[in-house]
Chain A
Amino acid sequence: MSKQNPKDRLYSREHEWVVYYEDGTATIGITDYAQEMLTDIVFVDLPEIGRKVVKKATVAVVESVKSVSDVFAPVSGEVIDVNTALEETPELINQDAFGEGWIVRMRLSNPEELDMLLAAADYDEMLKEEKH
């Protein structure tokens, strides 16, 4: 069973999460449901710091033994930090998708895009439907 989706953040329909800070930056990762679907993550392809991405563009790639999956930027902006711990221990995403397994930090170019994302309760609902 996946862990509870924390209420302190927003969610995309593609299973990314966003924690937004007042200084205009955000931390981004994939949800526990997503890591459960991927199972054993063995490689994370991280972007270069400074790369500008638009919403829904690929910002990182997560690979399990069997699969290669894009992580889509849930918002537009510039990559200001990446979780380099994932280079040596990609399984951090499996162990703690909402915490130690974060993927990138971004400075948002259009914070209004956050309004398009889902609250935890709405994401919960979406998952319920997806499992049916």
Chain B
Amino acid sequence: MKKTPLYEKHVALNAKIIDFGGWAMPVQYTNVIDEHRTTRSAAGLFDICHMGEIEVKGPQALDLLQLVLTRNLADQATGQVKLSALLNEEGGVIDDLTVYKMDENSYLLVTNATPRERDWQWIKAIRDAEKFDCDLKDISDNTGKLDLQGPRSEEILQKLTEADLKTMRFYHFCKSHVAGFPAIISRSGYTGEDGFEIYAESNVIGEIWDKVMAAGVPLGMKPAGLGARDTLRLEGGMMLNGQDMDESVSPLEVPYSWIVDAHKEFIGSAALRAKQNSGIRKKLVGLEMTGRGIARHGYKVFFKTQEIGVVTSGTFSPTLNKAIGLAFINIDFSAPDTQIEVAIRDTMAMAKIVKLPFYKRSK
């Protein structure tokens, strides 16, 4: 298994380590519920070094990204982050990634951990085939990433940076320093809370981790593992690539229509139009268990006796104190409040369809 630069720190903290797509990652330090609630009430610090980073630079960087990504980036300002999707020719989701506009003709793509090599090969192949004048560089191995999430994140991080965090808007970033080291600070995340994603050279990310721990722990922050990251993102109604969607799924079938720009041509756009015209048949929806039990990935979903779909993510929600999940179901049954059943082992448990997200922070 591959290890992040922070692996030894997790071991020293007695974290339980799991294999996450070939990476030895901390799933929890104490327990998931505690780390989850601490992130909602104070702050959580996550090792996200396993995610990928690709630089795209050159006169035709934007042209390449406009062709491979679903989102229109023409109006993106320097210092702004945009979530977008990378599709195959059939309109299936290869990855959902964030685009950082570093400067004119200079972008940083932040990919999920598992499809990172696939993304790289795909984008490179298209750059080569179309002969776009831009350089691509996979800087994943030299780049460390920490997510500091939760209502006290700004207060904690401000102790370690000269950047004025108070004025930084959500989904915006700046190049600055953290604990004296050059870093990109982005106000964004994957928890449904306020917070920051911090990027720095992988050889200094350990020292940054230590400094953030020293500044954050007295304010109630704790290190948090992938277990809490998963329950936090699910409450926030966010999908997990490879679990809730894959290359057989189009962004129109999941809550991602908003990152697809119908007014531009990109790889997969023709397939999406064809899909739209022939009618979308299934949809990813939120569900809440009203009966006993927890819906889990792979459990079947029924309406009366008819099988209508399958659960893609499911857990116990530490904030709402009930079982929640995401499920791919036949679109005819996808209206909120529809009573459904989930087959849990040998029993049918009652559930209902609900609007996403399950949790929204108070501003």
Q: Which residue of A lies closest to B28 (CB)?
A: A39
* A68 interface contact, C-beta 8 A: yes
Determine if A66 and B293 form an interchain contact, defined as CB atoms under 8 angstroms apart: no
Determine if A65 and B315 form an interchain contact, defined as CB atoms under 8 angstroms apart: yes
Determine if A65 and B32 form an interchain contact, defined as CB atoms under 8 angstroms apart: yes
Assembly CA distance A42 to B227 (angstroms): 14
* A100 interface contact, C-beta 8 A: no
CB distance from B359 to the nearest CB of A (A): 15
Assembly CA distance A40 to B292 (angstroms): 18
Interface size range on A against B: 10 to 19
* A45 interface contact, C-beta 8 A: yes
Using an 8 Å CB-CB cutoff, how does the interface string of B211-231 with A read, 1 for contact, 0 for none? 000000000000000010011
Determine if B32 and A66 form an interchain contact, defined as CB atoms under 8 angstroms apart: yes
Assembly CA distance A65 to B31 (angstroms): 9
Determine if A65 and B323 form an interchain contact, defined as CB atoms under 8 angstroms apart: no
* B318 interface contact, C-beta 8 A: yes
| A39-B28, A39-B31, A40-B33 known; A65-B293 Cβ under 8 A | no
| A40-B31, A43-B316 known; A65-B231 Cβ under 8 A | yes
In the assembled complex, which residues on chain A have CB atoms less than 8 Å from the CB atom of B34? Answer: 40
* A61 interface contact, C-beta 8 A: yes
CB distance from A55 to the nearest CB of B (A): 20
Which A53-76 residues have a C-beta within 8 angstroms of B?
61, 63-66, 68
In the assembled complex, which residues on chain A have CB atoms less than 8 Å from the CB atom of B344? Answer: 45
| A63-B316, A65-B315, A65-B318 known; A43-B294 Cβ under 8 A | yes
* B27 interface contact, C-beta 8 A: yes
Determine if B323 and A43 form an interchain contact, defined as CB atoms under 8 angstroms apart: yes
Using an 8 Å CB-CB cutoff, how does the interface string of B317-332 with A read, 1 for contact, 0 for none? 0100001000000000
Assembly CA distance A39 to B28 (angstroms): 10
CB distance from A63 to the nearest CB of B (A): 6
Q: What's the dominant secondary structure at chain B's contact region? A: mixed
In the assembled complex, which residues on chain A have CB atoms less than 8 Å from the CB atom of B316? Answer: 42-43, 63, 65
* B296 interface contact, C-beta 8 A: yes
* B345 interface contact, C-beta 8 A: yes
Assembly CA distance A86 to B85 (angstroms): 44
Q: Which residue of A lies closest to B321 (CB)?
A: A42
Using an 8 Å CB-CB cutoff, how does the interface string of B10-28 with A read, 1 for contact, 0 for none? 0000000000000000011
Determine if B345 and A66 form an interchain contact, defined as CB atoms under 8 angstroms apart: no
In the assembled complex, which residues on chain B have CB atoms less than 8 Å from the CB atom of A39? Answer: 28, 31-32
In the assembled complex, which residues on chain A have CB atoms less than 8 Å from the CB atom of B323? Answer: 43
Residue from B34, B36, B294, B344 with most neighbouring chain A CB atoms (10 Å): B294
Determine if A64 and B32 form an interchain contact, defined as CB atoms under 8 angstroms apart: yes
Q: Which residue of B lies closest to A65 (CB)?
A: B32
Assembly CA distance A39 to B18 (angstroms): 15
Determine if B345 and A65 form an interchain contact, defined as CB atoms under 8 angstroms apart: no
CB distance from B225 to the nearest CB of A (A): 10
Q: Which residue of A lies closest to B18 (CB)?
A: A66
Q: Which residue of B lies closest to A64 (CB)?
A: B32
In the assembled complex, which residues on chain A have CB atoms less than 8 Å from the CB atom of B294? Answer: 42-43, 63, 68
Contact of B32 (CB < 8 Å), options: A40, A43, A61, A68: A40
Assembly CA distance A68 to B344 (angstroms): 11
Determine if A61 and B227 form an interchain contact, defined as CB atoms under 8 angstroms apart: no
Q: Which residue of A lies closest to B230 (CB)?
A: A66
Residue from A43, A61, A66 with most neighbouring chain B CB atoms (10 Å): A66
Determine if B296 and A65 form an interchain contact, defined as CB atoms under 8 angstroms apart: no
In the assembled complex, which residues on chain A have CB atoms less than 8 Å from the CB atom of B345? Answer: 45, 61
In the assembled complex, which residues on chain B have CB atoms less than 8 Å from the CB atom of A66? Answer: 27-28, 32, 227, 230, 315
Assembly CA distance A68 to B294 (angstroms): 9
Residue from A40, A61, A63, A68 with most neighbouring chain B CB atoms (10 Å): A40
CB distance from A92 to the nearest CB of B (A): 15
CB distance from A128 to the nearest CB of B (A): 18
Determine if B293 and A43 form an interchain contact, defined as CB atoms under 8 angstroms apart: yes
Assembly CA distance A61 to B292 (angstroms): 13
Assembly CA distance A95 to B294 (angstroms): 21
Supply 11 A–B pairs (Cβ within 8 Å), ascending by A: A40-B33, A43-B292, A43-B316, A45-B292, A45-B344, A63-B294, A65-B231, A65-B316, A66-B315, A68-B296, A87-B292
Q: 10 additional contacts, CB 8 Å, given A39-B28, A40-B32, A43-B294?
A: A40-B31, A40-B33, A42-B316, A45-B292, A63-B294, A63-B316, A65-B227, A65-B318, A66-B28, A66-B315
| Chain B residues with a Cβ under 8 A of chain A | 27-28, 31-34, 36, 227, 230-231, 292-294, 296, 315-316, 318, 323, 344-345
Please name the 4 residue pairs, one residue from A and one from B, whose CB atoms are nearest each other, closest first.
A42-B316, A39-B31, A65-B32, A40-B33
